[in-house]
Amino acid sequence: MPATSPPKLKLLTILLIASLVQSAAAEIISRELLFDDPKYSQVTLSPDGEDVAFLAPNEYGISNVFVRCITCKVTKAVTFEMKKHITGYHWTGVKNIILYTQDNDGDENLKLYKINVTESTPYTPVHTISDRAGVKAIIIDNNLKGDRVLVGLNDENPAFHNIYELNLISNEMRMVFHNERFPAKITIDNDMRIRYVMEEADDGSVVYYRPSERADLNKLTSDNDDWVSYLTVKSEDRPLTMPIAFSKDNKKAYWLTADDTDMGQLTVHDFGYPEKAEVLYKAVRTQIFGVIFHPEDRTVLAVTEYYHKPEFYVANTSILEDIQHLVNLRPQATPMIESTSNDFNTWLVTYTSDIKPFEFFLYRRDAKKAEYLFSTRPELQGKQLNRQVGFDYKARDGLKIQAYLSLPPQAQLLREDQVHGENIELAKMGMLPVQPQKLILFVHGGPKARDFYGFNAFNAWLTNRGYAIMQVNFRGSVGFGKRLANAGNGEWGRKMHYDLLDAAEFAVQKGIAKREEIAIVGASYGGYATLVGMTFTPDVFACGVDIVGPSNLITLLETIPPYWVGFYNDMITMLGADKNTEEGRASLKSRSPLYFAKQVKNPLMIIHGSNDPRVKQSESDQFVDELKKNNIPVTYVVYPDEGHGPRKPRNVLAMAGFIEEFLSDCLHGDVEHFVHGQYNSTAMVLADIKKPSFHRNLHTTLGDGQRVGPAETQWPGLSRPTGRWL
């Protein structure tokens, strides 16, 4: 049923007042301060509210789990891995029991282990739950209250995860769902019973199923007799529609739904009757970013949206004073509730700011007091970091696009009285430098993802080196409604790229950047966007850096991880073509940079991990081979012990060193000294072809919707097909 936001909801607008006072040129911040493993990451609160856990490097630089006793202030390591980094961990419903995961050099086949944090020593055996080669272990459900968790293992068919119940006391594992059909997007209720599975239809829609009356909930199978259709979600509604929770008695189901809205809504219905849903909250500016439930009674407490920054909409006035207290505590930062104790008295809160790393506080509701815990990177205290401004611009077809701009801290800004018209508002926001800047267009991955506000090491690093950074939530990004998300379908290499070109043109027209000093950098889909920019529009970008980007959309689809098979139709909807049809292959080929490699004119760096399960190293190998054949300049760096992007600190540091020198050669920003081998990384430079000069025609009009490069680089005429991921 249609509804507007209930009157009781109160918006707490969290404003960051940006100072436009400029200071002297920023000192060089070393790469080690920015890219070494942070002192605290993946911070969580124990269910009883007595301890905080986090990942941190040990004395050998290997990520391990540490636990801090809140009352006694003692921190100790509880895992003692010496070779493989821990990728994640989970508290459980059994006090002091933690599960943790590792993979094999970035292959994402997670191994799962169990420890008791009170008994763990370097000599205590670790209980192995799953460590089989080629098997990906995932936690399907962990309600933090009982002695069981549900674990998914693709141990029979790599495409589908069987579901096992793990007893945390006895370590007994028993299969509760023999799965030969459904992807691992499985919904569990408060009693850890499987309530929904989902399956794609050929047209890209999704059918949710519930167990049938005849099904044995302790021994489910994929057989049709075990499942009854519950709800069908149209392809265009998929970005907004999903089950998220159950009421305390499991009789009511909470869903995010699209229906006839662009931004979606929070609804609740009696289980089994989705057609009788009641709208609890209708999104205002963006689609719903998060819903906060009370951990005990499972009532809705607050909803968050996220446009430029997070915004709280408080649904239960019992927490209004608490939220207001947190907002007032750090008025120049944005609070987010990371986790709470089961009794809801203790909250772990993080504050996000653009000018300082994340800060963690412990908030006690009964005392209405917040205790500072730590900063994720305390060594950056006092360093001059960049501001980040959220803004909107119009794409050439009129679509509104959200983006972020980060200027170098030392950049002098124009005042409002120095500009006219619409530029007055931009000056008020702190977006207009006195002199145009060297600009890096940093393209996010996904593309069903988005860029966010707040500190990140990449922005802090490159703005410190004198570059402006623009991050664009182009069409195909999620978080801004289904219209924007679906507008990217079939537009890889076309309108999604035009949005980036229009962002660059906006920067040039507003005096933010010089046309001849714009680089494009990105990872995953952002790497693909870099290759598109350097091939399809070779005169636009002075240089580019592609990190784990696909070069051939056909081979990309042919080599996806097996556990992505259940989302294949969503991927072809997103890409706009299917590799299994002649017409589809032609469309995919026409938008694959590999087939246009000889059009690259300006310097290009390519970085890949050999164990990447999402975008195989062959995607970069084949592109570099084409460049070599045509003697086109390229620097190609491969990490044999990494996957979908470097994660190990020594390799991340080396990657930053390579990129920093490359960009300095191209755009002449500041550079910290770097030599290959400096960080004892595993980097292998497989190609380093350079030319002393490049023919460049940098007078192309970026805003020209008909021509975005020289005639030979125009996109072939294509009928618009119909095309999730990276």
Which positions are annotated as active-site residues?
Answer: 524, 612, 644
Q: Are strands 242-246 and 252-257 parallel, antiparallel or unpaired?
A: antiparallel
Residues 668, 671, 676, 682, CA torsion sign = negative
Decide: residue 222, CB within 10 A, 0-12 exposed, 13-18 middle, 19+ buried.
middle
DSSP element (H, E) containing 584: helix 582-590
Cis-peptide, bond into residue 158, ω within 30° of zero: no
What span, in angstroms and rounded, lies between the C-alpha atoms of 248 and 190?
7
* Whether 590 contacts 718, CB under 8 Å: yes
Q: What is the SS3 assignment for 586?
A: helix
Contacting residues for 540 by C-beta, under 8 A, at least 6 apart: 501, 504, 518, 533, 698, 700, 702, 708, 709
Integer angstrom CA distances of residue 98 from 80, 94, 113, 213, 650: 14, 9, 8, 35, 28
Residue type, 326: L
Pull the structure tokens for residue 99. 């599960």
* Whether 4 contacts 282, CB under 8 Å: yes
Paired with 348 in beta bridges are 339, 362
Residue type, 372: Y
Decide: residue 271, CB within 10 A, 0-12 exposed, 13-18 middle, 19+ buried.
middle
* Phi, psi (rounded to 5 degrees) for 568: -60, -45
Decide: residue 121, CB within 10 A, 0-12 exposed, 13-18 middle, 19+ buried.
exposed
Integer angstrom CA distances of residue 41 from 381, 396, 452, 458: 17, 40, 18, 16
What span, in angstroms and rounded, lies between the C-alpha atoms of 297 and 648?
41
Nearest to 504 by CA among 540, 461, 545: 540
What span, in angstroms and rounded, lies between the C-alpha atoms of 313 and 304?
6
What span, in angstroms and rounded, lies between the C-alpha atoms of 400 and 508?
18
* Phi and psi based region of residue 159 (left: phi greater than 0; alpha: psi -120 to 50; beta: remaining): alpha
- The whole-angstrom distance between residue 648's C-alpha and the CA centroid of its chain comes to 18
DSSP conformational letter for 643:
B
* Whether 407 contacts 416, CB under 8 Å: no
* Sequential DSSP letters for 652-698: HHHHHHHHHHHHHHHH--------TTTT----EEEEEE--S------
Integer angstrom CA distances of residue 125 from 115, 116, 119, 319: 9, 10, 10, 43
Q: Where are the beta strands (DSSP E) in 376-427?
A: 388-394, 400-406
What span, in angstroms and rounded, lies between the C-alpha atoms of 269 and 20?
49
Instruction: Give the per-residue SS3 of 86-113.
Output: CCEEEECCCCCEEEEEECCCCCCCCEEE
Q: What is the dihedral of CA 653, 27, 511, 540, to 10 degrees?
A: -30
Residue type, 477: S
